[in-house]
Amino acid sequence: MIRNVFDVATDFPQFEILHKNFLFRDYYVDHFNGVAPIGPATNKKWFIDVDNLYACLFVNENHWVALDINLPAKKIYIYDSIPNLVRDAQMVLQCMFLRRMIPALLSQEIDDEVHKKSYAMLEVRRVKANMPLNEDPRDCGVFALKYIECLALGKPFDGLCDRNIPALRVKLATELFDEVGEDYKHHILQSRRLGKDCVIPHLTDSP
- Tally of helices (H runs) and strands (E runs) in the chain: 7, 4
In this prediction, residue 201 has a pLDDT band, given cuts at 50, 70 and 90, of very low
In this structure, is residue 165 part of a structural domain? Answer: no
Phi, psi for 39 (deg, rounded to 5): -55, -60
- Residues 18-52 have pLDDT tens digits of 988 899 999 999 999 999 876 677 899 999 999 99
In this structure, is residue 172 part of a structural domain? Answer: no
In this structure, is residue 128 part of a structural domain? Answer: yes
Phi, psi for 167 (deg, rounded to 5): -70, -35
pTM of the predicted protein model = 0.83
The Cα 44–Cα 33 span in angstroms is: 6
What SS3 class is residue 176?
helix
Mean pLDDT of the chain: 86
The Cα 58–Cα 182 span in angstroms is: 31
Q: Is the pLDDT of residue 202 over 70?
A: no
In this prediction, residue 207 has a pLDDT band, given cuts at 50, 70 and 90, of very low
- Four-point Cα dihedral 14, 206, 51, 71, nearest 10: -40
- Residues 93-135 have pLDDT tens digits of 999 999 999 999 999 999 988 888 899 999 999 999 999 999 8
Beta partners for 125? 77
In this structure, is residue 84 part of a structural domain? Answer: yes
In this structure, is residue 36 part of a structural domain? Answer: yes
In this structure, is residue 191 part of a structural domain? Answer: no
In this structure, is residue 174 part of a structural domain? Answer: no
| Confidence (pLDDT) at 200 | 46
- 87 φψ region: left (φ > 0), alpha (ψ -120 to 50), beta (else): beta
- Cα angle value 122/124/130 (rounded, 5°): 140
Q: Quick one: three-class SS letters along 100-149?
A: HHHHHHHHHHCCCCCCCCCCCCCEEEECCCCCCCCCCHHHHHHHHHHHHH
- Residues 128-160 have pLDDT tens digits of 999 999 988 889 999 999 999 999 999 999 999
The more confidently predicted of residues 190 and 122 is 122
Could you list the residue range(s) of the whole structural domain that residue 83 is in?
Answer: 5-158
Q: Is the pLDDT of residue 205 over 60?
A: no
In this prediction, residue 206 has a pLDDT band, given cuts at 50, 70 and 90, of very low
In this structure, is residue 198 part of a structural domain? Answer: no
For the chain, the domain total comes to: 1
- Residues 53-98 have pLDDT tens digits of 999 999 998 999 999 999 999 999 999 999 999 999 999 999 999 9
The Cα 207–Cα 204 span in angstroms is: 8
